[in-house]
Amino acid sequence: MIYTMLLSQEALPKTLIKLVVPLKTRTWIRAVASRIQKRQRAFRNAKRIEEWNTRAAQGGYFIYKIAPNVKMKLYCDSLLSRLIFFNEFEIDEQDFMVRFLHPGDVYVDVGANAGFLR
C-alpha cells in the first residue's frame, strides 16, 4: 500500500517516506515510475502521430482545440500546423508566460503570424 502511494508525490511527506521506506526501495520505485511515464508518453505520441497522419491523408484543414474556448484552423500541408498539433511550437515562450504571468496580468502577443498561449 505504501508503495502505491509513493507513486503519487503528494501521498506522504518526504521525511516520513525516508523513515518508512529504505533508500534502495525508494530508488527502485522512482525508476519504475519513470519507466511507466516514458511508456505512457510513447503511447500518447504514437496515437498523436497516427491521428496527424490520418488527418493529413484527408488533406485540407481541421479545427484543433488549443485550450478551453480557443480553437485554431490547422492546415495539413503546413509545418507550423504540425508543430502546433504536436505541442512543439513556441515552447520557450509558453514556459516563460506560465512562469511569469499571474491571473489578471495583461500581455500582448505581437508578431507577423499566428501566436497563442496555452
With a threshold of 0.75, does the pTM exceed it? no
Domain ranges of the chain: 1-58, 59-104
HSE-CB for 66 with a 13 A CA cutoff: 18
Which segments of 1-118 does DSSP mark as H helices, in order? 2-6, 14-20, 23-58, 79-85, 91-100
Q: Which of 23, 36, 30 is nearest to 6 (CA)?
A: 30
In tens, the pLDDT along 19-61 reads 666 777 777 778 877 787 777 777 778 888 888 899 888 889 9
Question: Is 87 in contact with 53 (CB distance < 8 Å)?
Answer: no
What is the average per-residue pLDDT within 85-99?
A: 80
